[in-house]
Structure 1
Amino acid sequence: MEQKLSKDELILSHSFPTSKATWQKMAEDCIALANHNGGIIQLFIPENTYHKRYFKTFSKNITQFTQGLKYVYLKPNQSTSVNQLKLKVYPSSASLISSLPTINNNLSKHTVISQMEKPNTPTIQIQELQQADIPTDLIQLKYGIQHSPYPILMLDKNNKITMANKAFQRLVTANNDDLLNQPITSFLTNKQTKSSFKQIWQYVNTGQVWQGTIDFQGAPRDSIPVELAVTPILNSQNKPESYLLQLKDLRESIATQQQLKQLAFYDPVTNLANRALLKDRLSMALASQRRQNTYGALLFIDLDHFKQINDVHGHSQGDAVLKECAIRLSSILREDDTLARIGGDEFVAILLGFGSSSQSAKIQATSTAEKLLGSMNEPLIVNGYQHYIGASIGVTIFPKGLETAEDLLREADTAMYGAKSAGRNSVLLFESSMFQAVRQRYQIEHELREAIENNQFEIYLQPQVDIDEQIVASEALLRWQHPTNGLILPAKFIPIAEDTGQIVAIGNWVLVKVCEVIADCQQQGKGISIAANVSAHQFREPDFVSTVKHILKTTQASPSLLTLELTESLLLEDTTATAKIMSELAALGINFSIDDFGTGYSNLGYLKKLPLKELKIDQSFIRDICIDPNDAAVVETMLSLAKHLNLQVVAEGVENKEQAEFLNKLARIKMQGYLFSKPQPVTDFLALWLNKPLTSERHFE
């Protein structure tokens, strides 16, 4: 019998196999045909127990190799023989025929295929199907499901997988063979999820679509949160015959939400809480302590000299230092406490559970703050660099009344600035009187800008004398001639100028004035060496060297008569970079002095690495030199060290003859203090220096 083949579809009729072996053989034929182009097979099976039993074997074999299997049970009167099995395969072409292992490869597409070489061998008949009857929508649907970016499953009525598209295979890291006939519950993560799934099925079996989120089990046994939609496919009696599951992997969206939350509530550098989260937790802590009638505390921690690290090493090193500081601070606090970074070099800690006594709460909070300060005083070694930071910490306890979170932050901030103004590296408990100091500070900060613009600063000079009390040099000291408040000393405004960065402009102004005085004295034939203090902020400016060169050039001052005084802490911060700057300036003839020597850190290795000319012994060692053996021993050690390193020495704060005589017995050094002269305005100093030489009988008034 010869039939004309369609290029799109084949119908095959098999005589119904009567043994497992013939079932297996027919399965191989169908598999080869269906897998050629990923075809779909539809079976028409006589409905009786005998055939159904053998069909299970066929179904098991064929679904190992195909993406899906559709079958229909036919009653004997439904246009087919009781012993006939019909299969419909889509799509097909002439090349499909040659893929069948039981068919001669040379047969044409118009040949009737019949295999009767052995008894009980199935007969395959190719029958014509009209083009109009081809279910192309089925082909398109299958293609769409397989290539959908969303995982899709088909389950039978027993909740076993009959189809899993490629996206689902990728989701659970399993291939198609491993998924088919697997119960869907094997991909659920735990008992709670399985219990939830049971409730979902009870709902779906009422014929309704369920939507929600659930966890699936991936590989290697990781939990995958998914958005799930379960659609029941109903038969003519409105009972579910199978189920369509559509999933959406939520891991990426959850990760995005977590990232947004991290950005919104956590500091990106230290991973500590940020200002927004801190204020939320502080408000809750305030309410909680009020309910429980107990006290908590808020600590405002500001790192000292942190800006220098950014200026010298860059912000990446600064960030690394901040991370290390966060680790140190966190190690001191309890698990229930909150540590936040609210910007720059500022940290805030919320401490809870200090009991019902306000006095006890103050003691405990201050004790914790002292521990935090101690941790910051230890050297920080980050990326091979050693940093000395320190901190100023303000403390306030709560609740005190009806204060808000903003009020507490302002109080702790005020106490912190009080600690910083008192000399930094200290802890201060908030008192209401501090608000007056804050207002004064704000006013000074505002008026400092006007002082620079309106030339309200003045240079005072204090002489340095030799063993014969003859002037050999001087130190320039800054004064602020306020239009309404009169003369303001540096201790009141220099810390504020350093905090606001105005110290750079002020320091450059001082250098200009000092060099002008040096040049004036030179022109009158009586040059004098003048020392000027240089702040760490000013020294770390990228253009500091070029600025100094420009000032020397424009004023025509001799570099050898200019001494720059640097603090010991500045010299210890990045010795390599410091040495480079100092060497460039020393090459011009400029001298360098260590100010307040002995008050900084004890590492003296820098003394032989830097181009220093002198060191200044701080007045704290001079004050009790005649009555305190320890101070005397320290000064003797410093003088011995200076002698061995060939450094000159200036003793600051010499106020009586006993101190001067004691120092003169130890070494020939320069001395500076009220015994010889108070700081004088430049005009007064020059009048004496240029016209009336100082003698041992005449001192500055």
Structure 2
Amino acid sequence: MADVSLLSASDQSDPTIRKLVQVTGWAVTLIGCLVALLLLRDDPVQWGRVVLNLCAGLVGVAALALVHLRRWLLAAHVLVWGVWVFVSLVAAGNGGVKGPNLLNYPVLIVLSGWLLGGRATMCLLALTGGLFGFFLWADARGALPVTPANNHYAYAAYLAGIVGLTATATLLSRRSYLGRVGEAQDMAADLAARDTELRKLLRVVEQSPESTVITDLQGRIEFVNDAFVARTGYARSEVIGQLSSAFSGNGLAPAQLAGLQETLARGESWAGEQANVRKDGVTIWESVVVAPIRQPDGRISHHVELKQDMSERKRAAEEIHRLAHFDPLTSLPNRSMLIERLTGLQARHQRAPDALNALLLLDLDRFTTFNDARGSEMGDRLLCAVALRLSERLGGQDLLVRVAADEFGIVLHGLSADAAAAGRRALVFAEQVAQALAQPLPLGLQAGDAAEEAQLQASIGITLYPQGVDDLPLNAMGRAGTALHRAKHGGGARAAFFEQGMGEVAAQRFHLERDLRHAIGAQELRLYVQPQVDGRGEFTGGEALVRWQHPRDGLVPPGVFIPVAEESDLIVGLGDWVLAQACAVLAMPAFSQRRLRMSVNLSARQFRQASFVPNLRALLATTGADPTLLTLEVTEGLVIEDFDDAVAKMRELVAMGLEFALDDFGTGYSSLAYLKRLPIRELKIDRSFVTEAPTNADDGALVEAILSVASHFGLRVVAEGVETREQVRFLEQRQPDMVYQGYLFGRPEPVAQWVERLAL
């Protein structure tokens, strides 16, 4: 059956064998017919020999007919066995072993070997050997006929046909052999290349940094690479033949393990993460892919596990999470964790309303002063000590976070379902926190090092949370921040509870700041001027003031928007606008020709700008204003905060011709040592002293002292808030060349009207 199947395969793919069947069929047909025709020339004609050769020719015809029907195997059998039968009959009639027909048998054996395979050829060889034995036995007893005289033409045709067929079969066989040799060589080269690729692939797998495990379908390990050995600590001999589950999948939950098995049962790949354990007990996190290995027929024979070590990535992710949710200095949760906790409390409250919680924002009083005086390292120690002291006051579910800088947040859980009771408990806790912080805080690096201590106080803002289903964490933080702001402005060292009115005020301030920011660039600001006069009532100059013409609210008083501007960065832009408008007015002929002075208030934030001096110099050059007519009013607080820098800037501006006035003199430090070093040309007496000076002895004495100081230093004096003749007489008696500013001589009015009045 093996030979038949092989021949059948050859029939389909080997053109040489098919060609050999065709050539043999034609050769047998031609030789048989030609020999039969030539035998007809014998005299007498031996009809038996003629018929046998014709029958042999007909065997060739039958084979060719089968070839036409593409029945290659049957055609080969007909050729070999049919020719053998008729050749044997012819040989028996021609004298057996003494006849000329024995040449056919080697040819038939060769053809059988190529066409029918080994088993048929062995049968043919055995039959031929038996036939030869019979011929010898019969010839020895004289049983075979005498070899007849040969027809030379027929014999020549027979020999030529046999030789031609033998040569043709040999050449075709040689070509087939060479083709097979070439195919074998190509196959060998292909196998060598495949072997090289396989070896390369094996080296890749062996040297891969990712752990690779191959198991059979029962999960028993058949192969592990070096990365697996290095990562797990197990030797190959310890794992080969063992179940993979004994070394992998330790971090899988039962549901995940079931999902893995179901996925593999479907012939699909599974991917996931596992927390596996090394031989030494250390846990390693791995990203695992388990995939089926299929044979060429599609059958799954093995599974491969590819494992990537993600322990470092896991640790990095945990560190990123820690940095994103915890403060690196105090190790407390940070603002993000506070938002998450408040969000969770709101979600739980929506599912089942329960006891109210409280959010406390705590800010350390004068921490900046401590940090500047003692250094940032001691400031960090103080923050850590505060964090430790506060954490000791918390309950099991409460949360302490560091919100920012010296601000901490505390979430108190489940105070009471009654808002009043919850508020009282929150205030009691705030008082306890204040008392705890009032105790000395050790600042040593170690617990036993108490050489460094600090005491401080804190301001606390409190709000209840959640206040309804729509209350968001940011809303709660805004309320607590508003309460904290109120506590600090109340002097610090106190707790303030949020009230609804506080939120409304904060909202109003927010809208006011937003509108003011828009107003500076939207031409909504107006420059007003309040006149300054001498004792004869003649104009000596004026003070530039700003007003805001709101498109909806009308003229906004300065007492409303100036404090908002001073608490934000808007005061710089506002001050620059006033200064630019004042310089433009100074350049007008009505001012410059009459040599009237213009006074402009400077804010501390505006004056501290590094570009203030060059910007003012450029402004004067652009507008053409005379710097000798410009007076800049500064406060004692502005000067004292950074004295050396302030004096340097003032001297630079004085060198340009500008003059400085010390505003609100007597309400601050009023240090003569500072006054002596300042390039001041003018003192302005605050209206709080002027108002009661004629009737209040104390205020009168203060005014006289200020005038004495001004006289000693040779300074010009301007009295603010002059509203009565009595005040004028009091001041005039003590300082004849006094300059007056107040409602008695003129209220602030738009600059256009004021300039128009000057021109009359």
**TM-score normalized by the length of structure 1:** 0.50
Larger radius of gyration: 2
More strand by share: 1
More helix by share: 2
Highest relative contact order (Cα 8 Å, sep 6+), 1 or 2?
Answer: 1
